[in-house]
Amino acid sequence: MTSAAFGNWVKHRVAALSLGHWGTLDPSACGVLVMAVGEATRLLPLLRDSRKRYVFDFKAGSSTDTGDEDGRILATAPVPPGWERGLAEAVGSLVGEFHQIPPMYSAVKIAGRPLYEAARRGEDVRRAPRRTQIHDLRIVAAEPGGARLAVHCDSGTYVRALCEELGRRLGLPAHMGSLLRVAAGPFRLATSKLASDIAGDGARCIVDPLAVLDSPRVVLQGADKDRFCHGNVVMLADCHRGFHHREAIVLDGCRPVGTGRFEETSAQLRLFPTRVFAEPGAGGTSKDANS
């Protein structure tokens, strides 16, 4: 199942008007898939730590056109005995910042079209390298012809391309086997919900975004709250100083009513609305301010 198809299923199970993904998964992969429903979709940009953790299988001795097990084999080579001795050095050489070329079978858009559409037509599109960072890469287990690895990486890292690069450094064609996302930012596999959990009681599977986001909080009441909800600037007390570099979640009591950015001067502190949410039960849709 694709992430989009699973998202549509979840959307109906929790009776949400809207649903957004915070990083999709390939149909053959499994693990943590972060989704937001309703107005929480517009809070996803406030998630600051977008790094991912994966456990995956590295397959040496063959490469494929997709970089994973679902593709057509392009090249093969015998894996020499004792190849594992060079694995640790090759793995260590990949830790740090480097540039990665997105695979042809990916959702990256070039000239407005996903690369995978061109790949299915047999085309090879020129792709610019993208900077990424591997924070940690380690061997979980090794066996003849393959290994299980764990990686902690920046968002946007392609593990398939990482396997191919690891193969190049070993002098072997290679591809990715199974892929499990064990963490996405603050979300972990151990606290994730299964499809069966959502089918049983979808509402109980929803996480309060205020329990996850570490953004500053501003509570507005009365006329200030009304001004903000109509997209107007609000003057704040000095106790909010020091947060001018962060986007804040604006609350009416415990209920988020939007987000705002600070403008701080020596004389005053102002809050500019960046997102204003619709009132519960109100018609119409919420809006972005200054965008």
Contacts of the segment 201-204: beta carbons below 8 A, 24+ positions apart? 202/10, 202/13, 202/14, 202/15, 203/14
Tell me the C-alpha distance between 149 and 127, whole Å.
27
Cβ-proximal residues to 68 (8 Å cutoff; 6+ apart), any chain: 26, 28, 160, 175, 176, 177, 179
Tell me the C-alpha distance between 44 and 50, whole Å.
10
Tell me the C-alpha distance between 180 and 188, whole Å.
12
Q: Which of 26, 57, 68, 252 is catalytic?
A: 26
Best CA proximity match to 5, nearest among 33, 41, 44: 33
Q: Does the annotation count 26 as an active-site position?
A: yes
Catalytic residue numbers read 26
